[in-house]
Amino acid sequence: MIQLKATPRVGIVGGGSWATALAKVLTENCSRINWFMRKSDTIDTFKLLQHNPRYLSEVTFDMNRLNLTDDLDKLVKMSDIIIFAIPSVFLTNVVAPLRTSLKNKIVVSAIKGLIQEDNLTIGEFFNRVYDVPLEQIAIISGPCHAEEIALERLSYLTFSSRNLKVARAVAQLLECHYVRTTISDDIYGTEYGAVLKNVFAVAAGICHGLRYGDNFQAVLISNALQEMERFVHAVDPIARDIKSSAYLGDLLVTAYSQFSRNRTFGTMIGKGYSVKSAQLEMLMIAEGYYAVKGIHEINSQYKVHMPITNAVYNILYEKIAPNIEIRLLTNEIR
């Protein structure tokens, strides 16, 4: 079993808003962090401006505390704990050139999606493809938006791992006066919960775009929580409190927040945008679009009753008109 270092070297993979928010929190506790971004010109601009030129640009950094690199092998060699915070759709391409082993690293997923090719959770992907023991994998879940981290508004994060010592070690690195942390051993439940809440946020956005009101949204989200509970129990039947913040809390903030890109994407679909036009206008990844296809395919094995997931799938992939599909959904939920 891996030995946890008293002062671990930490690396982040990703250049978006969530990676930037996590880097901000890490600098509260770490004297220096390693940070991988794919584009060298982004790194050059970052060094010049002392902030991420594309995301959360109001967050400034002391450049003496950042080691920015576009060499993933270099980052892995220099880091004991590596936090991946990139959209799931890009993960396989980003890590494909990696030649340095991850077996002796603690791998942390801050990704809320599935690997499309095989419908693997991120933890399963690193375990099966890169031979990282499950006891060395941790999952970060919310409720938490990067934009509120940037504003230093009080936020809560849950860290899940089969090895609670690993969960606790990672949590301590990301706890500060505006971030409080909880640990859990429910690695599968929190990962699937994070995937599903994006699907349900798309549903909430579609209904908002169709001008359904708060009364219906409340019913929708209460049914979404039940749907989440049924699915995660089918996949991993252990005792868990689905009403805790890692599940219900993350669902609520993603379904209702102005910062939720999945809700925004859904709203555009409800207003009549095509998937492609909504994606082009947003300039950000809505994980729920990709997640609903994966969940739909996984559920072909488990046969869980998932009317909300099915409705979102039918709208996005079967091209059923949103007003027709949601009207049918209203007869299935109570």
Q: What angle do CA 236, 238, 244 make, to 5 degrees?
A: 100
Q: Say whether 197 is catalytic.
A: yes
Provide the 3-class DSSP secondary structure of residue 239.
coil
Catalytic hit among 24, 105, 112, 197: 197
How far apart are alpha carbons 105 and 295 in whole angstroms? Answer: 29
Host H or E run for residue 300: helix 287-302
Structure tokens at 325: 């599909």
> Can you name the residues that pair with 60 across neighbouring β-strands?
51
Phi, psi of 67 (to 5 degrees): -110, 95
- Which residue reads 């019913």 in tokens? 219
Distance CA 333, CA 203 (A): 13
In sequence order, what are the beta bridge partners of 330? none
The answer to whether 187 touches 134, Cβ cutoff 8 Å, is yes
Count, residues in the chain: 334
Partners of 68 in beta bridges: 35
Nearest 5°: phi and psi at 12?
-120, 140
CA 109/CA 98 separation, integer angstroms: 17
Question: How crowded is residue 84: how many other Cβ atoms within 10 Å of its Cβ?
Answer: 23
| Cβ pair 259, 148 in contact under 8 A | yes
How many Cβ atoms from other residues are within 10 Å of residue 332's Cβ?
12
Which residues are catalytically annotated? Answer: 197
